[in-house]
Amino acid sequence: MTHILTPEGKKQLEEKLNYYKQVRRFEVSEKIGIAREFGDLSENSEYDAAKEEQAQVEAEISEMEDILLNCQVIKSKPTDGTINVGSTVKLYDEEFDEELTYTILGSTESDPKNGIISNNSPVGSALIGHKKGDVIKVKLEGGEIIYKVLEVD
């Protein structure tokens, strides 16, 4: 699976990966060492918790490495007014009579609470390829949402 990242998103993920490899691994290793000193490992909950944390850290490292290995970095935003990954879009929701602003990025960088949606989300994928003035119908489990594209940046 190809992950789409902005240059900033890739840099942040590389920094997080470095932190996990250089700091988190060491922290968890220390916890394991301390827990070993408590004695019998078969009944040592601190040791079990530290080993579980180690497995989680290693899984996260593996996932970040996989994303970085299989990522596509978007270098520039479309300039022809077409909505694509990297676009910021202002929409009008007719049903709720409100304006919404979304930035469309890859799933790795999405943060819906802050208006950053994935290009793979129902709304993100429905917007791709449209331009200012277009009316878009997004089919969701609970029904259909109609948006009018007000601006594309």
Q: CA 1, 19, 70 angle in degrees (round to 5)?
A: 15
CA–CA gap between residue 23 and residue 12 (Å, rounded) = 16
- Inter-residue contact 145 to 95 (CB < 8 Å): yes
Extract the tokens encoding 153: 């940046």
Task: For each of the domains in the chain, give its residue range(s) and CATH number, in order of start.
Answer: 3-73 (1.10.287.180), 88-152 (3.10.50.30)
What's the confidence (pLDDT) of residue 77?
Answer: 62
What's the confidence (pLDDT) of residue 76?
Answer: 65
| Residue located via tokens 């970095």 | 73
- Inter-residue contact 110 to 7 (CB < 8 Å): no
Q: What is the pLDDT of residues 26-65, one digit of tens each?
A: 999 999 888 888 777 777 788 889 999 999 999 999 999 9
Whole-number Cα distances in Å, 92 to 86, 101, 126, 128, 147: 19, 9, 15, 16, 5
pLDDT tens, N- to C-terminus, the chain (153 residues): 778 888 989 999 999 999 999 999 999 999 988 888 877 777 778 888 999 999 999 999 999 999 999 998 987 665 688 998 889 999 999 889 999 999 999 988 999 999 999 999 999 999 999 999 999 999 988 889 999 999 998
